[in-house]
Amino acid sequence: MFWLVVFLIAVVVFSIFLGRYPKPGLITISQMQDDLLAQRLVLNLRIPRVLTAMLLGASLAAAGGVFQMLFSNPLVDPGFLGVSQGASFGASLCIVFLGGSLWAIEGMAAFFACLALALSYFLARRVKYGGWVLRLVLAGIAVSALFSSGVGLLKYMADPLSQLQAITFWLLGGLSSITWKQFLFILPVVVVSLAVIFGMRWRLNLLSLNDETAFSLGIAPGRERLILLIVAVVATAAVTAVAGLVGWIGLIMPHIARRLFGADTRYMVPGSMLCGAAFAILCDDLARTLLSGEIPLGIITALLGATIFIYLMIRQKIPVRK
């Protein structure tokens, strides 16, 4: 774990110096001293961007780990209860009808993410058959489908020259527009959410058990599940609002953390946060340096995430309940 922290710090420092200005590669200290533009670039764009990527990765990975434990299913991620589709719908709605103001997009995405969660939750309570997890899964699928059809409709209605591009870029995810403003906007929410998840990490183990068993071990399964579910969704909604849809981190990072530190959430949770943070920063490095134009971050994480997933599947490291 100590070495992972060191690795993350190294990744942060490396990424701050990495870029395509003045030429592709690492910027040197002397260039920074001579070139005012380089200084501004590093201070006002690269540092907040790298730090936001760190929060993004840590939040998605921690939320993914929490979801996997709460639903006792290793193949679940924060998009599971309609949260991602809800956020997409909110952002698209905002782009089409309220203009593309960043704050409005962020607010609407967060609002609809929470709405989607609430809808999934109440729908699941109304379903008359199956266990609680199955009902939540079904409700999540239905709510996701509703919002994604909404997104489809909005894309159809959008002005193809301006709005459609904005929606598409948001749906693909990326950090190209991040400044200190966005970073500071999500910082408090993310820090509080991650602190709650970190603090409750031992009890998270017990929340993957049956309710009555968790109760017999002295905890309040219903209440503690709800707390963790809310903070995981809030953290996801916050980072999604500024970065757009970035997939796969929440699904894959907990598995890598389990490989490194075991299944015990005492170690898996911080391990996921660190792995997720480093992974998101490195993916974003690729997104902004690989080509002269920006590649959407969601494409890179999906490409690398799916590759890792296939590797893990073939090596049978993801145990699936029969």
82 contacts 76 by C-beta, under 8 angstroms: no
Q: Which is nearer to another protein, 174 or 276 (CB)?
A: 276
* One residue of 37, 212, 314, 315 binding another protein per CB under 8 A: 212
- 313 neighbors 291 (Cβ within 8 angstroms): no
Among residues 38 and 70, whose Cβ is nearest to another protein?
70
Phi-psi label, residue 255: left if phi above 0, alpha if psi -120 to 50, beta otherwise? alpha
Q: Which stretch binds another protein (CB under 8 A): 71-79, 155-163, 186-194, 229-237?
A: 71-79
Rule CB under 8 A: choose which of 5, 217, 226, 313 binds another protein.
217
Q: Which of 1, 145, 211, 307 binds another protein (CB under 8 A)?
A: 211
Residues 248 and 304: their CA atoms lie apart, in Å, by 9
Chosen residue from 103, 122, 202, 311 binding another protein by CB under 8 A: 202
What burial letters (b/e) apply to 133-155, b meaning 16+ CB within 10 Å? eebbbbbbeebbebbbebbeebb
Q: Binding residues for another protein, how many (CB under 8 A)? A: 30
Q: Which residue has the tokens 């609407």?
A: 108
Of residues 258-297, those binding another protein (CB under 8 A): 258, 262-264, 266
- C-alpha Rg value of the chain to the nearest Å: 20
- By beta-carbon proximity to another protein, the closer residue of 155 and 259 is 259
Phi and psi torsions of 26, nearest 5°: -85, 140
List interacting residues with another protein (CB under 8 A). 69, 72-74, 199-200, 202-203, 205-206, 208-213, 215-220, 258, 262-264, 266, 319-321
